[in-house]
Amino acid sequence: MSKRIFAIGDIHGCFDSLKELVENKIQLQKSDKLILLGDYIDRGDKSKEVVDYIIELQEKGFDIIPLMGNHEAMLLDAFENKKNVSKWIQNGGNETLKSFEITSIKNINPKYLKFFKELKYYYSLGEYLFVHAGFNDNVVNPFTDFYSMLWKCKESYNNPLLTDKTIVHGHNPISVSKCNDRIQSKPRVINIDTGCVYHDKDDFGRLTAYECNTGRILFV
């Protein structure tokens, strides 16, 4: 793989960190590929700006692969059925409503609904698998269990379809130093969610990108 390939962990409305990471740290080129691991919305205060920025990069011709996170799935569930609204709100949905300047998810612009509905659950590239959370190790075909891709993380896998892959994921926040240490050990499962929205927690509050070809990580 000669082109540069990056993955970015959970963003959660941290637009300023995303822009800084993409434009100044990565210095994204149109020849690069950027996989986003989901959770663009909720908790942070700039969810709309994050989604607008992703759409804008795609429209400008950058090679962006945005994946589905559990927070996007919760938003869609809330849109489809009002009994799911409270679960979403408890997980930071209020900040997203404020960011989109709406009081009900039913008022969201159809453009954004389309964006959320079209997100992929995982992405395969060479030896790499990119996913929001992880995979179900106990089924014959782990690529059929979408729930696990959004909610279940593991540190190792035994399924024959997964064992020779390097899996890059987010979903489960870990400290910056733990992320750094794990990547130094060249693991088969790489978690790059360093809790960018948790600025008040020591050794968290960073947005992380992983460069697949070099194995280096970039923080903002």
Predicted confidence at residue 76, as pLDDT, reads 98
Domain range enclosing 103: 5-219
Nearest to 151 by CA among 35, 47, 73: 73
Predicted confidence at residue 82, as pLDDT, reads 95
Place of tokens 């941290």: 14
Predicted confidence at residue 175, as pLDDT, reads 96
Specify the number of domains making up the chain.
Answer: 1
Predicted confidence at residue 2, as pLDDT, reads 65
Nearest to 174 by CA among 195, 198, 160, 205: 195
Q: What is the pLDDT of residues 166-187, one digit of tens each?
A: 999 999 999 999 999 999 998 9
Predicted confidence at residue 143, as pLDDT, reads 98
- What dihedral angle (degrees, nearest 10) is formed by the CA atoms of 131, 133, 150, 207? -80
Predicted confidence at residue 201, as pLDDT, reads 93
CATH assignment at residue 45: 3.60.21.10
* DSSP bridge pairs for 124: 129
- All residue ranges of the chain with pLDDT < 70 are 1-2
